[in-house]
Amino acid sequence: MKTRFARRIGTLRPSTIREILKVTEQADIISFAGGLPAPELFPVAEILAATERVLGEGGAGALQYGPSEGFQPLRECFAEESRQRGIACVADDILIMTGSQQPLDLAGKIFLDAGDCVLTENPTYMAAIQAFQSYEVRFAAAPTDEDGLIPEALPELIEREQPKFLYTIPNFQNPTGVTLTAERRCRLYEIAARYGLMVVEDDPYGALRYAGKYIPPIKSLDTEGIVIYHSTVSKTIAPGLRIGWVVASEEIRRKLTIAKQAADLHSSSLDQRIVHRYLTEFDSQGHIEQIRRAYGERFAIMDAALRETMPEGYTWTHPEGGMFLWVTCPEGTDTNVLMRQALERKVLFVPGQDFFPDASGRRFMRLNFSNASPEKIRDGVGRLAEVCLAASAASAVIAS
């Protein structure tokens, strides 16, 4: 019997990262592939204590169904956090989400019909491509440079492709690590407002700045109610909690709430209360400082190791925060091939291709610097450089 799947699932590209992550379980592999935080920095003791308090003091509420909009005291925490980031809002403007991934799916659900266009950065977050792809859409991709998306490219793309929304990751972007400058945020917002284009602003990494100056989100400029801002505790507390939040206008929140009800009724009551306790009763800011310091150090170690060992012709970004840097290899390199060679040397990265909506971009690789220890970073970059050196030598032979 032939299984009759929906058309949309046939168009979904499998994620290389998920495939890669299956082999990272092997102990001797050094992985720069996943987007994983440093596990040794998870606040395990604090989360244990917060959980005990939640369950010990009126635990039934934590085990009961709850409102789709979220646990009110946690909405207040995230409203305060969003205000500190520069966004004017109150608790009722917040919806609690199951991570930062859910708002991507729900934005797709409420805005996208089959054949619609989504405008993204080129390259962009692979799982956002997947989330939107399941609504059978087309993509238009805006060019980026070391200051993020280039706003001047937007009007022509908007007029030609008529996108339903622009999806952007302004801080320490996944995969490139670059940050959209303050000036470009203003220009991007002006253009979006002029065309009445919705903006989905994804900010999982903004709190992880280890260098440079803070830049307020695009949402802080939003006088028209066209920006849907979302963030998460995945990178600042732990991704296993699956808690994030959205700030959006009332009209959009109402639709998102209905879409969320259909998706999962509400995010975990227990996890929401644990996060609330953790944020209000423990030193969450001190913990973020610790993460920032560690990731800043790890970036510096990776950058220095790349400088010392990589062959001529390889360049990479210098992020001021977040968890990733982006390597540009010499013209003609195919990082899908390079990855298989790297795997033989027991080091992993993600080839660039999956981050491009049109699957171009084969000369790039994404390296994660948050997950491996400093020693493993040095060792892994050394192995990667050997693979790149061998590839450069081979292409020199072919060229001659």
Ligand X SMILES: Cc1ncc(COP(=O)(O)O)c(C=O)c1O
174 near ligand X, judged by CB under 6 A: yes
Name the minimum Å distance from CB 105 to ligand X. Answer: 10
370 near ligand X, judged by CB under 6 A: no
Name the minimum Å distance from CB 98 to ligand X. Answer: 7
CA distances from 66 to 231, 255, 267 (A): 21, 18, 8
Name the minimum Å distance from CB 332 to ligand X. Answer: 29
Q: How far apart are CA 9 and CA 44, in angstroms?
A: 37
Name the minimum Å distance from CB 396 to ligand X. Answer: 36
Q: Are 233 and 100 in contact (CB under 8 A)?
A: no
Binding residues for ligand X, how many (CB under 6 A)?
Answer: 13
135 near ligand X, judged by CB under 6 A: no
| Cα 147 from chain centre | 17
Question: What one-letter code names the amino acid at 338?
Answer: L
Q: Which is nearer to ligand X, 205 or 314 (CB)?
A: 205
Give the one residue of 32, 71, 78, 125 binding ligand X; rule: CB under 6 A: 125
Beta-sheet pairing, 350-351 with 364-368: antiparallel
Give the one residue of 101, 176, 220, 392 binding ligand X; rule: CB under 6 A: 101
Query: Which tokens sit at 135?
Result: 């609504």
Query: Which tokens sit at 203?
Result: 């900010």
Q: How far apart are CA 84 and CA 399, in angstroms?
A: 55
Name the minimum Å distance from CB 400 to ligand X. Answer: 42
Q: Which is nearer to ligand X, 234 or 335 (CB)?
A: 234
Residue 245 DSSP one-character state:
E
Q: Which is nearer to ligand X, 169 or 388 (CB)?
A: 169
Name the minimum Å distance from CB 325 to ligand X. Answer: 14
Q: Which is nearer to ligand X, 171 or 257 (CB)?
A: 171
Task: Tell me the residue length of the chain.
Answer: 400
234 near ligand X, judged by CB under 6 A: yes
Q: Which is nearer to ligand X, 122 or 234 (CB)?
A: 234
Q: How far apart are CA 146 and CA 170, in angstroms?
A: 12
Name the minimum Å distance from CB 97 to ligand X. Answer: 8
Could you count the other beta carbons within 10 Å of the beta carbon of residue 60? 8
- 85 backbone dihedrals φ, ψ, rounded to 5°: -80, -5
- 194 backbone dihedrals φ, ψ, rounded to 5°: -60, -40
Q: Which stretch binds ligand X (CB under 6 A): 76-84, 97-105, 341-349, 366-374?
A: 97-105
| Cα 69 from chain centre | 23
Which residues share a beta bridge with 364? 328
CB-based burial label for 308 (10 Å; 0-12, 13-18, 19+): exposed
Name the minimum Å distance from CB 35 to ligand X. Answer: 4
169 near ligand X, judged by CB under 6 A: yes
Q: Which stretch binds ligand X (CB under 6 A): 132-140, 232-240, 302-310, 363-371?
A: 232-240
Give the one residue of 20, 31, 35, 247 binding ligand X; rule: CB under 6 A: 35
Query: Which tokens sit at 340?
Result: 């298989």
51 near ligand X, judged by CB under 6 A: no
Give the one residue of 43, 123, 204, 217 binding ligand X; rule: CB under 6 A: 204
Chain position whose Cβ is nearest to ligand X = 99
99 near ligand X, judged by CB under 6 A: yes
239 near ligand X, judged by CB under 6 A: yes
Q: Are 202 and 166 in contact (CB under 8 A)?
A: no
List Cβ neighbours of 139 (8 Å cut-off, separation of 6 or more). 117, 118, 119, 120, 129, 132, 357, 358
Name the minimum Å distance from CB 36 to ligand X. Answer: 9
Q: Which is nearer to ligand X, 103 or 392 (CB)?
A: 103
Q: Which stretches of the chain bind ligand X, using CB under 6 A?
A: 35, 99-101, 125, 169, 174, 202, 204, 232, 234, 239, 244
